[in-house]
Amino acid sequence: MTSATATTNVMTAETLLNNWQGHRRVTRKTIEAFPEDKLFAFSVGGMRPFAELAMEFIRMAVPIVDGVSTGKWVDYKGPKPTTKSELLQLWDAQTEELNAKFPNIPPHRFCEVDKAFGRWEGPGLATIQYAIDNEIHHRGQGYVYLRALGIEPPPFWIRD
Amino acid sequence: MTSATATTNVMTAETLLNNWQGHRRVTRKTIEAFPEDKLFAFSVGGMRPFAELAMEFIRMAVPIVDGVSTGKWVDYKGPKPTTKSELLQLWDAQTEELNAKFPNIPPHRFCEVDKAFGRWEGPGLATIQYAIDNEIHHRGQGYVYLRALGIEPPPFWIRD
């Protein structure tokens, strides 16, 4: 690795948030694509239904932004939706909360190392990136559930 | 969005490459986890077998780094493995090629906009990030194939 690579900045906080919200829009469309009963009950290979995966994303997103922002790591204590419309409402509320809170992350906190939720050690950026990657990973699994149900998933490359 | 967010740098080229190679190590373990016949033939819901998804990652990775580096977008013309060991060999050769070529991407090319392969318009960073995200997305699908086969996939959070 050259030293230029170590000092070349390739991403701003704004781009990171935009990437994330782009992915979150795809995830929202994925939730919408499920018939209500399948959303909470269907899976393949003994895995969790997509509503449970979506709740994992929700338990991570705002609490991680709060933790990176403040250094205080507090588990999600919000609502636990039992219908598709409640889940989508919660999703939309988090979208707004992320947009409001993310820009307030102090710049130095992206590289400061914390033990997130007392368990996952890494710089703020890595913890946020983990939340995004985890969402992409499990949403890809939701695509298989949809295909197995004969339903076309939303296009992966359209982020608006 | 505050102006601070637009100017706060959160990621270097080195971190981006390290993230990618970390994911590529998980993908390599995913390829390894498949029995040879299932790797090339098994899928769920009429989707592509995991070997075809892995070849999509290979067709994207080095050609995208070459394109972002040089502005010349040339389709993959390398080998098409028909066995698991050939696929892993090609994977490892690409790992080395990425490590060699990525540090030579001129810094300004990460934000310069190209039409990648004549089709996908975006800055260099977005095209590289798309390759990484696409790999995470489809690898997640491979995890469902493995679960459906009764095989434990590699831990998503271990990147070494």
**Is residue B66's pLDDT more than 60?**
yes
**Is residue A95's pLDDT more than 70?**
yes
Task: Kindly identify which residue of chain B lies nearest to residue A100, measuring between CA atoms.
Answer: B1
Measured CA to CA, the distance from residue B117 to residue B121 in angstroms comes to: 9
pLDDT grade for B4, boundaries at 50, 70 and 90: confident
pLDDT grade for A54, boundaries at 50, 70 and 90: very high
Full residue range of the structural domain in which residue B131 is found: 19-148
Residue A10, SS3 per DSSP:
strand
Task: Kindly identify which residue of chain A lies nearest to residue B9, measuring between CA atoms.
Answer: A12
Give domain status of residue A159, yes or no: no
Task: Kindly identify which residue of chain B lies nearest to residue A149, measuring between CA atoms.
Answer: B45
Measured CA to CA, the distance from residue B31 to residue A87 in angstroms comes to: 34
pLDDT digits (tens, 9 = 90+) for A124-149: 999 999 999 999 999 999 999 999 99
Q: Which residues contact B37 (CB under 8 A, 6 or more apart)?
A: none
Give domain status of residue B47, yes or no: yes
pLDDT at A112: 97
pLDDT grade for A59, boundaries at 50, 70 and 90: very high
pLDDT grade for B132, boundaries at 50, 70 and 90: very high
Q: Cα distance from B25 to chain A (closest Cα, Å)?
A: 15
Query: Are B9 and A9 inside 8 Å of each other by CB?
Result: yes
pLDDT grade for A3, boundaries at 50, 70 and 90: low
Give domain status of residue A124, yes or no: yes
Q: Which of B136, B42, B69 is nearest to A131 (CA)?
A: B136
Give domain status of residue A2, yes or no: no
Q: Cα distance from A82 to chain B (closest Cα, Å)?
A: 24
Compute the mean pLDDT over every residue in chain A, rounded to the nearest whole number.
Answer: 96
Count of the separate structural domains present in chain B: 1
Query: Are B12 and A12 inside 8 Å of each other by CB?
Result: no
The answer for B 14-73 residues in CB contact with A (under 8 A) is 14-17, 19, 23, 44-47
Give domain status of residue B60, yes or no: yes
**Is residue A2's pLDDT more than 80?**
no
**CATH number where A103 lies:** 1.20.120.450
Q: Which of B26, B121, B144 to mutate to test the interface with A (most CBs of A within 10 A)?
A: B144
Q: What is the mean pLDDT of residues B123-138?
A: 98
pLDDT at A101: 98
**Is residue A102's pLDDT more than 90?**
yes
pLDDT grade for A116, boundaries at 50, 70 and 90: very high
pTM of the model: 0.97
Measured CA to CA, the distance from residue B154 to residue B142 in angstroms comes to: 11
Residues of A in contact with B8 (CB under 8 A): 12-14, 107, 110
Task: Kindly identify which residue of chain B lies nearest to residue A141, measuring between CA atoms.
Answer: B141
Query: Are B47 and A144 inside 8 Å of each other by CB?
Result: yes
User: CB–CB of A117/A73 below 8 Å?
Assistant: yes
ipTM tops the 0.95 cut: yes
Measured CA to CA, the distance from residue B76 to residue A44 in angstroms comes to: 33
User: CB–CB of B33/B68 below 8 Å?
Assistant: no
pLDDT at B88: 98
Q: What is the mean pLDDT of residues B54-62?
A: 98
Residues of B in contact with A145 (CB under 8 A): 144
**Is residue B128's pLDDT more than 90?**
yes
Q: Cα distance from A106 to chain B (closest Cα, Å)?
A: 9
pLDDT digits (tens, 9 = 90+) for B83-115: 999 999 999 999 999 999 999 999 999 999 999
Q: What is the mean pLDDT of residues A56-83?
A: 97
pLDDT at A117: 97
**Is residue B2's pLDDT more than 60?**
no
pLDDT at A90: 98
Give domain status of residue A59, yes or no: yes
pLDDT grade for A6, boundaries at 50, 70 and 90: confident
Q: In this complex, is the C-beta atom of B88 within 8 Å of any C-beta atom belonging to chain A?
A: no
Q: Which of B102, B133, B160 to mutate to test the interface with A (most CBs of A within 10 A)?
A: B133
Give domain status of residue B116, yes or no: yes
**Is residue A4's pLDDT more than 90?**
no
User: CB–CB of A112/A18 below 8 Å?
Assistant: no
pLDDT at B11: 96
Query: Are A10 and B11 inside 8 Å of each other by CB?
Result: yes
Compute the mean pLDDT over every residue in chain B, rounded to the nearest whole number.
Answer: 96
Give domain status of residue B55, yes or no: yes
Q: Cα distance from A150 to chain B (closest Cα, Å)?
A: 7
Q: What is the mean pLDDT of residues B27-49?
A: 97
